[in-house]
């Protein structure tokens, strides 16, 4: 699939609304991470929680999720459930997650097991619907930044097609500096805006955590939005207390009460 395909192109969210249009720019973003299981869902949920606190209609999207269990006649995925709980716009799961697979495996493998080919078209169509129903959308990626979705299309292509500013979650662990800097390079090389990054302490007592964060802050050309400690209760609200999302472009100002 060509990334220049005009049918699939979505107007970049990083651009302000045209002068005089009267439509304020909205906050939408794509959350990626240095790896799987490093806190993308936690930080995406924290972002949704903070958006809801700001008084806007906020919706999470997990376009592709692998790993689901049947409960009360419905297929559940933890990421989807957490994003739904943190937002305040409730759409059918088939819209917020157009591709949900049972097997907790790499998406293209999980899809193949079900005889499905992941296509960007339903994802982009669903994204348009979510946009129409909300004021802010947080799209959580899958695993790290470049994860194959089919033979020609990966999650970085998806971020590019959605034309969203990216927020990078860095799971603080040995090796995270290279993982983070490689990811930053990949984001920028695709012409995407890196809007900010979050340092997430997925493990307690990492040796030289301060030094790792300092090395990253010196090298990542985007604001450090916050450092989330290892939380006893990793809830959206608890994580949001450690992050200053107002540094993100077009973050909504709280409604005066």
Q: Name the E strands within the chain.
A: 27-33, 58-61, 64-66, 69-71, 74-76, 99-101, 136-140, 166-171, 194-200, 224-228
91 sits near ligand ATP (criterion: CB under 6 A): no
42 among annotated binding-site residues: yes
Question: Is 14 in a helix, a strand, or coil?
Answer: coil
Q: How far apart are CA 164 and CA 158, in angstroms?
A: 9
Q: List the single partner that 230 binds among Mg ion, ligand ATP, none, CB under 5 to 8 Å by kind.
A: ligand ATP
Residues designated as active site: 62
Q: Which stretch binds ligand ATP (CB under 6 A): 13-21, 118-126, 179-187, 199-207?
A: 199-207
Q: Which one of ligand ATP, Mg ion, none is in contact with 167 (Cβ closer than 5 to 8 A by kind)?
A: none
Tell me how many residues contact ligand ATP (CB under 6 A): 17
CB of 89 to ligand ATP, least distance (A): 20
Q: Round to the nearest angstrom and report the end-to-end CA distance of the chain.
A: 48
Residue nearest Mg ion, Cβ-based? 41
Q: Given the complex with ligand ATP, which of 29 and 252 has the nearer CB atom?
A: 29
d(CA 206, CA 188): 28
H helical segments located in 134-229: 155-162, 176-189, 209-219
- Residues in contact with ligand ATP, shown as a per-residue x/- string from 21 to 60 under the rule CB under 6 A: ------------x--xxxxxxx------------------
58 φ/ψ angles, rounded to the nearest 5 degrees:
-115, 135
Q: Does residue number 226 form part of the binding site for ligand ATP (CB under 6 A)?
A: no
Percentages of the chain per state (helix, strand, coil), in multiples of 5: 35, 20, 45
| Residue 148 annotated as lining a ligand binding site | no
Q: Give the annotated binding-site residues for Mg(2+).
A: 41, 79, 140
Residues that bind ligand ATP (CB under 6 A): 33, 36-42, 79, 143, 200-202, 228, 230-231, 234
């Amino acid at each position: 699939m060509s990334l220049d395909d005009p049918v699939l192109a979505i107007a970049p969210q990083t651009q302000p609304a045209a002068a005089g249009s009267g439509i304020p720019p909205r906050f939408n973003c794509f959350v990626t991470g240095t790896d799987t299981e490093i806190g993308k869902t936690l930080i995406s949920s924290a972002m949704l929680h903070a958006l809801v606190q700001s008084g806007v209609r906020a919706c999470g999207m997990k376009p592709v999720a692998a790993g689901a269990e049947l409960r009360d006649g419905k297929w559940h995925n933890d990421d989807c459930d957490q994003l739904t709980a943190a937002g305040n716009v409730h759409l059918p799961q088939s819209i917020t997650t157009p591709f949900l697979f049972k097997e907790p495996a790499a998406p293209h493998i999980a899809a193949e097991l079900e005889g499905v080919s992941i296509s960007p078209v339903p994802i982009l169509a669903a994204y348009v619907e979510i946009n129409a129903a909300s004021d802010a959308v947080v799209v959580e990626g899958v695993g790290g930044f470049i994860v194959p979705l089919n033979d020609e299309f990966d999650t970085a292509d998806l971020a590019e097609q959605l034309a969203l500013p990216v927020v990078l979650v860095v799971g603080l662990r040995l090796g995270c500096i290279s993982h983070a800097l490689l990811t930053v390079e990949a984001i920028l090389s695709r012409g995407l805006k890196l809007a900010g990054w979050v340092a997430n302490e997925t493990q307690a007592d990492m040796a030289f955590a301060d030094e790792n964060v300092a090395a990253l802050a010196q090298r990542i050309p985007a604001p450090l939005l916050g450092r989330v400690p290892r939380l006893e209760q990793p809830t959206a609200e608890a994580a949001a207390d450690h992050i200053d999302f107002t540094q993100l472009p077009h973050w909504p100002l709280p409604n005066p009460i």
